[in-house]
Amino acid sequence: MSVLVDKNTRLIVQGVTGNEGLFHTTQMVAYGTNVVGGVTPGKGGEWVLDGKLPVFDSVKMAKEATDANASIIFVPARFAPDAMLEAADAGIPLIICITEGVAVQDMMRVRNYLDQKKVRLIGPNCPGLLTPGEAKVGIIPGNIAIPGNIGVVSRSGTLTYEVLYAMKNLKMGASTCVGIGGDPVNGTNFTDVLEMFEHDPKTEKVIMIGEIGGNEEERAAEYISSKMTKPVAAFIAGQTAPPGKRMGHAGAIIEGGAGTAADKVKALEAAGVKVAKHPEEIPTLLQ
């Protein structure tokens, strides 16, 4: 058991013939992920990975031929909204969008449409999912994490790698690592994932990695204090970021004093969460 992805995941890759798509498909297959097909409009009928993986013209065709139950998106930002809508319309229940730089208004339209279809979206602008030993659906390096009982959820990419690596060095493993992405409008938030971990028998403890901007960490703190029985440790990035400056992520903006690191740390600590001073300290808080 784990959340979102495991051995039973049948994954297709949208943008499979692009540079990034092909590189990461190779990595995912090498990890043991069950990748069943790829999609690139205009390249249907071709094969990639030395003739092992079929390419389809549309998600609908790929779904019909492979019975895929998840799709990962590697297409450029201007095509990503269409790719997400296409996957949802083809009846794919789980969509993971790695693409960075999707326009906010596009994401609002996509999210409102996907909600009507009851489709689960992870991302965009995220590193994807990793259930160590079972499935890697995204770009998290597979060798930095080992299987275990800690659920990890994060808004960041490389910072998540840092934490997984620190866990591995202490021989602590992850049940599933979920990168929800740093964009202001995304598919899945902290609370959604905390709820999944709370109900996942394999997950015994949880690490949450937040950052400045927005109020998802504060909402997560409410959920933790009212509903969660499993221990949670956290880290908030951007404690020293000057207010009003964008630190790369569209989501990491301090809006009118709300969403500061101090507010988030306070809310989490009040909910009984141990908050680390630096990322390498997080796993030790759960030892």
- Interacting residues toward other proteins by CB under 8 A: 20, 24, 77-78, 100-109, 111-113, 127, 139-141, 144, 154-162, 165-166, 182, 184-185, 209, 211-212, 214-215, 235, 237-242, 245-252, 277-280
Minimum separation from the CB atom of position 81 to other proteins (A): 11
Minimum separation from the CB atom of position 116 to other proteins (A): 9
Of the candidates 24, 199, 249, 278, the residue annotated as catalytic is 249
- What CA–CA distances, in Å, run from 189 to 60, 97, 122, 151, 162? 27, 14, 9, 14, 21
List the alpha helices (DSSP H) in the chain. Answer: 19-31, 59-66, 80-89, 104-117, 158-169, 190-199, 216-227, 261-270
Nearer to other proteins, 13 or 209 (CB): 209
Single-letter residue type at 168 = K
Nearer to other proteins, 68 or 83 (CB): 83
- What CA–CA distances, in Å, run from 191 to 46, 97, 187? 41, 19, 12
Minimum separation from the CB atom of position 153 to other proteins (A): 13
Q: Which element (helix H / strand E) includes 175?
A: strand 174-179
Task: Name the token pair of 239.
Answer: 């404690």
Nearer to other proteins, 62 or 208 (CB): 208
Distance between CA atoms of residues 223 and 242, nearest Å? 29
Minimum separation from the CB atom of position 56 to other proteins (A): 25
Minimum separation from the CB atom of position 36 to other proteins (A): 23
Sort 91 into a burial class: Cβ within 10 Å, 0-12 / 13-18 / 19+.
middle
- What CA–CA distances, in Å, run from 73 to 41, 77, 256, 271? 13, 10, 34, 35
Task: Tell me if residue 199 is catalytic.
Answer: no
Q: End-to-end CA distance of the chain: give it in Å, rounded.
A: 22
Minimum separation from the CB atom of position 210 to other proteins (A): 9
Task: Name the token pair of 263.
Answer: 């507010």
Nearer to other proteins, 77 or 285 (CB): 77
Nearer to other proteins, 24 or 63 (CB): 24
Residues 235, 160: contact at Cβ < 8 Å?
A: no
Q: Which element (helix H / strand E) includes 153?
A: strand 147-154
Nearer to other proteins, 9 or 156 (CB): 156
Residues serving a catalytic function are: 249
